[in-house]
Each structure stands twice: as C-alpha cells, then as structure tokens.
Structure 1
C-alpha cells in the first residue's frame, strides 16, 4: 500500500513539474478593438440625457453628446473608450458611472472557408484564431484534399499588435495569398499554422486527378492523395482488373511539356505485382489504360458453354 502511494506521489510531482515548464503569457488579451462601422452604445447611470448610440466613421472617430470634438476610437477596446469618455464627461458630471458596449460589430468581415472541407462556411472572429482551429471548425478536410491550403488576405489588417502578422502586400490588383501544408499542420508546425485575420479566405485545395480506364472494374477519376499515388494503388482503388485485362502492358498517357502529343509510359503490371520492377508513381492528369488481352481458345469454349462472356474480376489487395 505504501509503495502504491509513493508511486502516486511521484507521478503527481512529475505532472506538476511538466506543467511548470509550459510558458504562460503574462499579457492578458485586450479584447475586441473598435473599427469603422462598429456601433457603440453608452449609458450614464441616472443621467439618460448623456446616453448615446453612435457609429464609428471611416476615419475611426465617434461622436458623443456634450463632447465638443469627435473621439478617436479606432483600435480602442470598450474599456479604453469608457475611460476616455468618462474623463470628458467629468466636465459636466461628478464621477459619472458610464457603461460602454459594442452593440454591432461591422468593421470585421467574416472568414470564409471553402474547398475540400466537410462544411464550407463563414465564421465571424470574436478573438484571435489560427488556421488549424478554423479547419477543424469546418469539419476537417475531405478525402479529395490535395494536402495544401491556400489563404487569401483580401484586406490589410487593422489594429494589429506587434506579434500579429502585417499585410502581405498585394501586387497591383492581385489578392495576396500563401500556401500551407496539411502535413505541417498535423505535425504541429508553427509555420504551417498562421493566425487568420478577418476577411481572409481559406481554400483547401482539391487533389489533382488521374483517370483509370479500360479493363478495370470501376473505371473513372481518382484523386491523388497526399504523398502520391502509385499505379498499383490506383488500380486497386478502381476495384482491380478484369480477367480479360492485358496485364503485361498497362499504358500511362502523360502530358508532355511543349508537345501536343502525350508521353506514353508502358508498365508491366505482372512484374510490379511480383516485386520484380518498381511501381510507377502517377502524376496529375495521367490517364491509365488497362488494355484488353486477346481471347484464348479456352475463353471461347467457356463462353459457348455458359452463354456468358468471360469477364471475371480479379481482386487486388489495397495498399
């Protein structure tokens, strides 16, 4: 019993020791900072004539009753504005009890999340948020994701703090953007998990396609997953080849740079399956054609006897 208790105490000490190594920021979050278009409501206890509802103009200023000049409210928090207005109303009231509240947040457009996510949506940011959190909020990426995320910065950020990103700077009329890796996000890379600002557009890129045709069970379009797509895996994803497939020569038609004619790559399916030759990594927009082998005499006899074409699928164990 004492031994169990001793190990429990040691475990607790270890937990607290690890927790103490985690840095904790001494800087408290400032809260929502005001911007053009925001509506602010102020109320003075017992003095309704000093109450106000005002909208911050495009210059970042706000008008308050009995205050001669507009107040620069840009990038102030509710607390900052309350302190400023309280001091100005002190000319007319003794120790005014003022409350200030942002009633409409119109200065920050929502973040848009599109592309290969499970729930495309727009999100209003009320605090600092990062890419991984927003992708998770949208349900994560789909199976057709190509492993890259493009973030567009549609407008310069306002009220940034020293540790926040600045404008990426658009060239001419182009909207600036940056690419981030989903693999980097999964590995916890800080570089792959940037802070997202209001108005940003997040697009999870769709994987480039390849096409599998001919003597396979389910011909059609396939998405190249993150990490690439070998030929054998592509055929397995098409549910395997048929009995009539010509397996010695599988043709891959590939776009050739600077030529209207595609490059033709011949792969020996049987040799790859036996491990005698290396598998072929497919590239975006490749067309895989599994040809039809010439019929043998026994095939004709089987068709004649059964009245059914000899088309039996050959299953392939997925990789």
Structure 2
C-alpha cells in the first residue's frame, strides 16, 4: 500500500490537535534539569529529553563522526586478471602466417568473425582443436596455443585478444542516469566506476542508501562517505552477476508540524539538513502564537534501550544564539519537528501522542 507524505502529516496533525483539545494542564516553560522529569506523565518515561546546547552537539558530533581515513582500505586491482567465459569472442593472429588469420569483412564487425568461446568452454583453432578457454586468462590460452602450434610451426608468435566481452556483466539499477547492464572486461570495474559509466546519480538519488548485492548477500554502501569524505573503503570490485542499486531519496524526509506557517515534509538532500533549514523551508515560526521555547525534535531509536523508544530534543529559540545551535543540529530521516503554541496545555501529553506516529511513519516509509 502506498501512503504519501500528505497523508502521514494529516494523521500526525490529528493526534496533535486531539491531544491539545482534550487534555487540560498548565503551560510548559522548558526543562532545566533531569529531576523535573519525575513530574511528567508515564508516557514521558519512554523518551529521553535533552536540551539542544553546545554539550549535546558535541556529543552527537562525536557519535556521528566519520571514521579516520587511515583505516580505509582501497580496492586491490593490482593482481586483477580477466577470466574468459562462454560467449567471449577472441581474435587470434599468427605472425608471418596470414593463412591462419581470418580476414575481416568491411561490412561486418570483427566480433562476428572471431573465435567465440563455445558452450563447453572451448575454442577451436587450426592445428589446435578444443582448447579450454573458459575460466582461464588470455595469457594462459595464448601459451597453450603456442604449445599446440609449435608442433607444426617453428617458434610461432601469437597475438590473442578479446574482441567482444559477452560472458560477464554487472547491473546498475535505480536512480542513475543510464541504468543498465555493464560488461566485466580486462579493465577492473569497481562500484564507483560502474555508477560513473551509468552517468552518475540523478537528483532524486539517495546518496546514503546504495546497495551492493552479490549472490544472496546485500551490503549497504554510503556513497556520500566516498564522494564527500574520500572514504575509499566504500568502493567494491565488481564480479559477474553483481547488482548495484541506488535508491530514491523519497524515504529521506523530516516532518515539520505545529505552529509554523506551513506544516509539511522536507527532503534531506546529499548535503544533509539542519533544524534551522527545515524550519525556514516551511516559512518559520508563527510569530504571533508560536512558543520559541517550544521547538521539539522527536527521533525514534533504531533499538529500544532501557524502555526508551525515542529521543526528544528541545530548542530554546528566544535568543539569536539559539539559531546558531539550530544550524548545527543535523536532522535524520523521519525526524518530527513540532513547534508548540503559547500557551500550550500539557506539552508532555502531546509528545506522548506523537510517539506512535514515529512508528507509523517508519512502517509507512518502509512500505513505499
């Protein structure tokens, strides 16, 4: 079932408005200490509430800090050798023996007149029938041809090369300019090479969610770590049958709700999205009724820890310095930003009603 962002937003707004109208209480002025959490409803025990300040930003930056590139391992192509396969077309030339070389018609590709590796993995040449080629290198096949022809030609000099690579291929799918099938050749083909050959990523591509599939195993590749941070450990040497898939960016969104000029969703692009950008994108706070101390970011945890299912971050935005903090607070996919009104009745009850929406958004995005 497909559910779009507008539907998600409508559901969340229903929860918020219901909570505000049905629950009496006093105006919330902000949490200044952990001890005050004891006065909140039971629902608040499910969240970890923190103020957005320099200490929190330092903590989050430490957690999200990119690994040192000194530990990155590049793809090793030094010992790469192409192994021939069924369907490859070879050109074989014996120097000073033109009678053993196939002429190339002007009107046809040389691939039609080369020596194709047959279904049994062999090629047949003059004085050298049934030479095993599949699974062997070009040099190995050349050496065998030299050995075979040496019985009838003195010191044969043989040039062997691949005219057409038909046996092995990798697939690039999803949000690239030219999705398709790309051959594995004598030149090592890496994951980044394949994406570049496919024209690079589209505007709708999710730089954080490319997948690399080999057989029954799938690995997530963070392309942004490579392109923005030079993390060469994100690259892979492709083999026959490998699949590189670049997902769309429609799952990378945050939701801005509450007392803002325009509630809705905001896409996270490859450069990221901070709290200040998300609020500005939606027209900012409603100056007449919004509580600048009541800007909250709700973030569902991937793994529940000690009964905590979500983190709630609060920004006190009644001074200019707070906007500096907002610019440094990086948002994550499916974050909910909620701006309270002044006065708001029982903000904690609203937060508790928003918690199920975090799960709803997560499951809905997964279905899309």
TM-score interval, smaller chain: 0.5 to 0.7
Q: Deviations over 1:125-167 (max 9, x none)?
A: 431133444444433574763535432224xxxxxxxxxxxxx
Counterpart residue number, 2:99: 47
Counterpart residue number, 1:61: 122
Counterpart residue number, 1:220: 264
SS in 2 for 1:270: coil
Query: Cα–Cα, structure 1 residues 210 and 148, in superposed 2: closer, same or farther, change >3 Å?
Result: same
Counterpart residue number, 1:38: 88
Q: Deviations over 1:9-62 (max 9, x none)?
A: xxxxxxxxxxxxxxxxxx998764312221234355343599985432456433
Tell me how large the CA RMSD over aligned residues is: 4.5
Q: Which structure would you say has the larger RCO, counting Cα contacts within 8 Å and 6 or more residues apart?
A: 2
Quote the Cα distance in structure 2 between the aligned partners of 1:122 and 1:139.
14
Answer yes or no: is 1:211 the counterpart of 2:255. Answer: yes
Quote the Cα distance in structure 1 between the aligned partners of 2:296 and 2:84.
62
Quote the Cα distance in structure 2 between the aligned partners of 1:42 and 1:136.
32
Residue 318 (structure 2) aligned to one of 271, 274, 277: 271
Q: Give the drift of 1:232.
A: 2.5
SS in 2 for 1:103: strand
Quote the Cα distance in structure 2 between the aligned partners of 1:40 and 1:144.
39
Q: Looking at CA atoms only, which structure, 1 or 2, has the larger radius of gyration?
A: 1
Residues 147-162 of structure 1: matches in 2 within 5 Å? 147-154=208-215
Residues 214 and 241, structure 2, Cα contact 8 Å, conserved in 1: yes
Residues 50 and 66, structure 1, Cα contact 8 Å, conserved in 2: no
Counterpart residue number, 2:243: 201
Q: Give the drift of 1:197.
A: 3.2
Residues 247 and 268, structure 1, Cα contact 8 Å, conserved in 2: no
What residue ranges of structure 1 are gaps of 5+ in the alignment? 1-26, 155-173, 295-319
Answer yes or no: is 1:124 the counterpart of 2:183. Answer: yes
Answer yes or no: is 1:240 the counterpart of 2:284. Answer: yes
Quote the Cα distance in structure 2 between the aligned partners of 1:101 and 1:181.
35
Residues 30 and 77, structure 1, Cα contact 8 Å, conserved in 2: no
| TM-score scaled by length of structure 1 | 0.56
SS in 1 for 2:318: helix
What residue ranges of structure 2 are gaps of 5+ in the alignment? 1-76, 104-112, 344-368
Residues 40 and 55, structure 1, Cα contact 8 Å, conserved in 2: yes
Q: Deviations over 1:245-299 (max 9, x none)?
A: 52343455555778xxx969584563375539965654432333446679xxxxx
Query: Cα–Cα, structure 1 residues 28 and 86, in superposed 2: closer, same or farther, change >3 Å?
Result: farther
Aligned residues: 246
Residues 54-203 of structure 1: matches in 2 within 5 Å? 54-57=115-118, 60-68=121-129, 70-94=130-154, 98-115=158-175, 117=176, 120-126=179-185, 127-137=187-197, 138-140=199-201, 142=203, 145-154=206-215, 174-180=216-222, 182-203=224-245
Query: Cα–Cα, structure 1 residues 226 and 214, in superposed 2: closer, same or farther, change >3 Å?
Result: same
| TM-score scaled by length of structure 2 | 0.50
Quote the Cα distance in structure 2 between the aligned partners of 1:97 and 1:266.
75
Query: Cα–Cα, structure 1 residues 147 and 82, in superposed 2: closer, same or farther, change >3 Å?
Result: same
Answer yes or no: is 1:287 the counterpart of 2:300. Answer: no
Query: Cα–Cα, structure 1 residues 269 and 201, in superposed 2: closer, same or farther, change >3 Å?
Result: farther
Quote the Cα distance in structure 1 between the aligned partners of 2:300 and 2:138.
59
Residues 148 and 204, structure 1, Cα contact 8 Å, conserved in 2: yes
SS in 1 for 2:277: helix
Quote the Cα distance in structure 1 between the aligned partners of 2:269 and 2:172.
24
Quote the Cα distance in structure 1 between the aligned partners of 2:102 and 2:332.
69
Q: Give the drift of 1:243.
A: 4.5
Query: Cα–Cα, structure 1 residues 233 and 278, in superposed 2: closer, same or farther, change >3 Å?
Result: same
